[in-house]
A and B are shown apart, each in its own frame.
Chain A
Amino acid sequence: MDHYTMNLTLKVWKQKNQSERGHFETYQVKDISSEMSFLEMFDVLNEALVEENREPIAFDHDCREGICGMCSMYINGRPHGPWHGTTTCQLHMRAFKDGDTIVVEPWRANAFPVIKDLIVDRHAFDRIIQAGGYISVNTGNAVDGNAIPVKKENADSAFAAAACIGCGACVAACKNSSAMLFVSAKVAHLSLLPQGEPEKRNRVLNMIEQMDKEGFGSCTMTEACEAVCPKEISVDNIARLNGEYLSAAGAIDK
C-alpha cells in the first residue's frame, strides 16, 4: 500500500463538562501519514494544541490494539469510523483522502452522558454486568480445563459472543439507544456454557431490569448495531436473549 500524507479538516465536538452545552470546533491538521492510526492523528493534533497553549481534545483510549473497548468516537456518522469490524484505534488514516473533512462526535445516548468532549460515561454497562453478567463460583484452584464437557457449537457461539469488548458502539448506532446487543452478548456468552447454565434465568431477568433502569431503549431489530460492531457480534444473540427472557419470566415460581 502506497504511503501518502494528507491535510484534513476536523469538526470535533467540544464540551467542557456534563452540564455545559457543547459545540463543534473546527481544526486543521497537516501532513498526516496514511500509516497513522486515527488516534495517533488525534495525538498529533493535541500536541500541536498544547504547544499553542490551547486546550487539547479529551478522548477515551487505552490498549490501542482493539481489545479493551475504551475508544469510542462517532466518525463521519458511524461508530468507530468507516471500516467494518474495526475499533477507532485500529482505524488507519489510509481510510481517508487528502482534503477530507471528518466530523467526530461522542456516543449519543442519555444513558451515556458526555463527561468531556468525546468522552462519555459508560458506567451503565458496568452496572448491567454487576446485575448478573458473571458466574458465582467458589475461588480455589483452577479447575482442569477438560473437566466439564462443552459442545463444540456452544463453545464456538459462546466464544463469538464473548468477543464483545463493551465499547457501546451498538448503543451509539441504535436509533433507540438500546443496549440489547451488548446485554445479549453477555447473556449468550454465559448461558451457552455449563458453568453459566445454573444462573441462566435470574441472570437474564436481572440484567434486563438493570438495562431498563439505566435508560436504554428497547430493541426494534433494525440490526444497525450488528453492522457497526467492531467485534461483529451477531443479532442472533438478541433473539436468543428474547427467548431466554420469555422462558425465564414464564417459569419463575414466586
Chain B
Amino acid sequence: MTWKQLFTSSVGKKFVMALTGVSLIAFLVVHAGINACIWANDGGAMFNKAAHFMGATVVIRILEVGLFIGIILHIVQGLILEAQNRSRRSIGYQVPLGNRGSKWYSRSMGLLGTLILLFLIMHIYHFWTPSRLGGIGNIHELGIIAYDGKAYHNLYGEMVIVFQSLTIVILYVLACISLAYHLMHGFNSAFRTLGLHNQRYVRIVHATGVAFSVIVPLAFAMMPVSVYLGWVK
C-alpha cells in the first residue's frame, strides 16, 4: 500500500471526490454570503467592498489557488470516474432498473457536473477574468467606482450589465438547478465516502444536505433574477 494507491484505488478516487466536494461546498457558503450583499440595496457599495476584500487580501488569494486546484481535481477525477464506471458494463440491459432503485440525479452526477462545468466557463468569463486579468491583452476591464475617496472595481455594475440579457439570466438559473441536484446527491454522499455511518449523524447530515441543496442554489438563482427584474437598487 503506497500513498499513490490510497488515491488511485476505487475507494481512493471517491475519497478525492468527497474531499474536494466538501471544500467546494465550503466555498459555496462564502460565495453566496458575499454575493448576498447586493441585497443591501445600497447601489452595490457593500458588495463591491466585500468583493474588494476578497480580491485584495493575500490569505484569500492563497486560498483561491487551493480552490482552483480542488475544482480541477474534482472535474478531472469526476470525468475519469464517469468514463471508467461506464466501461464496466459493455452490454447493457434490455429493461433498465431506472428509478426503482435510485434517484435519477444520483445516477446523473456526471451529466449534472458537466452542465455546471459549462456554466463555470461562462461565469468565469463574465466576472473572474475581467476582475483579475482585466486590461491584460484585450480582456475587458471593469469599471471603477469610488467610495470615501478610495477606488474599487465596480463588480456590482458588471452584474447589472451581464444580467440585462434574459438568455443569460435563464442560463444562470438552469445552472443553479443543476447545482441543486448535484448537491442533493453529493453533499450526503461525500460524508458517506468519508466513512460516516453513525445513524444519528447520518440523519443530521442528510437533513443539512437537503436544506443546503435547496437554500444555497435558490439564493444564487435569485441574484440574476433580482438584478434582471430590478428588485435591487
Contact = CB atoms under 8 A, between A and B. Distances in A.
A240 B85 contact: no
B197 interface: yes
Nearest to B190: A221
A238 B192 contact: yes
Interface in A4-27: 11, 24
B196 A239 contact: yes
Interface in B80-125: 81, 84-98, 100-103, 106-107, 109
Contacts of A236: 197, 199, 202
A16 B178 CA distance: 45
Nearest to B102: A222
Given A218-B14, A220-B189, A244-B195, A110 B90 contact: yes
Interface residues of A, number: 53
Interface in A102-116: 103, 105, 108-111
A243 B107 contact: no
A167 B81 CA distance: 25
Interface stretch (A49-57, A85-93, A205-213): A205-213
B195 A240 contact: yes
A232 interface: no
B172 interface: no
| Main DSSP-derived SS at the B contact region | helix
A130 interface: no
Contacts of B102: 175, 222-224, 227
Interface stretch (B3-11, B49-57, B132-140, B144-152): B3-11
Interface residues of B, number: 44
Contacts, number: 142
Contacts of B5: 209, 249
B88 A177 contact: yes
Given A205-B1, A220-B109, A227-B101, A176 B197 contact: no
Given A105-B95, A246-B195, A222 B107 contact: yes
Given A217-B88, A218-B81, A243 B196 contact: yes
Contacts of B192: 221, 235, 238-239, 242
B93 to A, nearest CB: 6
Contacts of A243: 194-197
Nearest to B110: A220
Contact of B13 (A105, A173, A218, A225): A218
Contacts of B86: 176
B89 A218 contact: no
Contact of B97 (A78, A178, A244, A254): A78
Contacts of A215: 88
Contact of B85 (A77, A209, A220, A228): A220
A220 to B, nearest CB: 7
Contact of B91 (A108, A239, A245): A108
Contact of B10 (A109, A217, A240, A254): A217
B12 interface: yes
Interface in B1-37: 1, 5-6, 9-15
Contacts of A220: 85, 106-107, 109, 189
B106 A221 contact: yes
A241 B96 CA distance: 28
Contacts of A249: 1, 5-6, 12
Closest 7 CB pairs of A and B: A243-B195, A224-B101, A77-B95, A222-B102, A218-B10, A176-B85, A239-B197
10 contacts: A110-B89, A177-B89, A219-B11, A221-B106, A222-B101, A228-B101, A238-B192, A239-B195, A242-B15, A243-B197
Interface of A: 11, 24, 74, 76-78, 103, 105, 108-111, 173, 175-178, 180, 205, 208-209, 211-212, 215-225, 227-228, 235-247, 249-250, 252, 254
